[in-house]
Structure 1
């Protein structure tokens, strides 16, 4: 009986070690994967910002009633700063109306730009999209002919996915990253890691 008990304990110990080793391996793979995503986010956001772009696409995010969230306001401020320095550049304000939003994200962007002194005639509305893939695809349809140099305006964490979606839509977009509110950064980055992963999987499914 003691021998049998000893054997069972050894077996359990072996199984526990295997489980722990497997968990450690999964954690390591997860850390390496998220490190890779963070590297791509940094790489794609930290690029040269060309002057005199033909257009910029400003991606929408949450609107609190009729007021832009702090995250969206940072995008508006970044876009307005560029537009004031580059008078020939047009802006495409992109984003539909989500739950609990009184106005569309595109409308909030437009109003914010006008408040900053950007002429209404330089702003094009795209107010039907509900996610980044639609933001880019629908905005592309609104681009005037012979407009080649474009930038995408979003928060730092969102630039990588926005640009690769742009590339998939035939747009070679430059980066114009906006600041991310510090207190909201962990939540946004975690959501973005998941969103990028989802996009990878969807793209792989389409290709296959």
Structure 2
């Protein structure tokens, strides 16, 4: 009888933990999805574009849409500078930021208005190295450009680093169909949940 009672307690505890985890994941999912639709763009010192893959000397479709959105904001006068981020995945490749710079210049962005950091490999490093290159120019406010579902985690990182940052997700994205959007969403949910746990424990 005692063993049976203990077993029931364990099952109840497991059920409670499962419900709690499910509730947390649902809340995080809501945060990511709802924030993805917010565009906070306002006049700032710089537009900061989070890097992603390049194909040789050309931006991948995902990066291209981020660049197009940033260039549009620049042309509309939201900021004087654009900061392109992203390093190289191997010694034989161009850095993501170098490819971004070339693309932007071709689209009419003045070279003197472009800053790059070519060391980062992950989102958090995008911000950290960007702050280093921005310091001599005394840039203090930033419009962050990335894919919609990436924005919640990105803005949380920027806030933790003390940045005054505004979200401006791409209005077009390579992640447009449910077939491509759902894997990206679940990946972001995993990273965002991990980041929240690490942040809570630190």
1:123-151 superposed Cα distances (whole Å, 9 cap, x missing partner): 11101001111111110111144433211
Out of 39, 54, 66, which is 1:75 matched to?
66
1:107-128 superposed Cα distances (whole Å, 9 cap, x missing partner): 1211221122111111111010
Q: Which residue does 1:195 correspond to in 2?
A: 191
Out of 94, 119, 131, which is 2:122 matched to?
131
Q: CA deviation at 1:100?
A: 9.3
Q: Are the aligned partners of 1:65 and 1:100 in contact in 2 as well (CA < 8 Å)?
A: no
Which ranges of structure 1 fall in alignment gaps of 5 or more residues?
Answer: 1-10
Q: 1:112 to 1:184 in 2, by over 3 A?
A: farther
Q: Which residue does 1:185 correspond to in 2?
A: 181
Q: Are the aligned partners of 1:96 and 1:104 in contact in 2 as well (CA < 8 Å)?
A: yes
Q: Which residue does 1:176 correspond to in 2?
A: 168
Q: Which residue does 2:46 correspond to in 1?
A: 55
Identify the range of structure 1 (128-137 vs 30-39) with the bigger mean alpha-carbon deviation. 30-39
Structure 1 ranges of 4+ moved more than 3 A: 18-25, 28-31, 42-45
Q: How many residues align?
A: 193
Which ranges of structure 2 fall in alignment gaps of 5 or more residues?
Answer: none
Q: Are the aligned partners of 2:146 and 2:168 in contact in 1 as well (CA < 8 Å)?
A: yes
SS of corresponding position for 2:139: coil
Q: 1:170 to 1:25 in 2, by over 3 A?
A: closer
Out of 83, 89, 101, which is 1:98 matched to?
89
| TM-score between both structures, scaled by the size of structure 2 | 0.81
Q: 1:62 to 1:101 in 2, by over 3 A?
A: farther
- Report the structure number with the largest CA radius of gyration: 1
RMSD: 2.8
Q: 1:31 to 1:99 in 2, by over 3 A?
A: farther
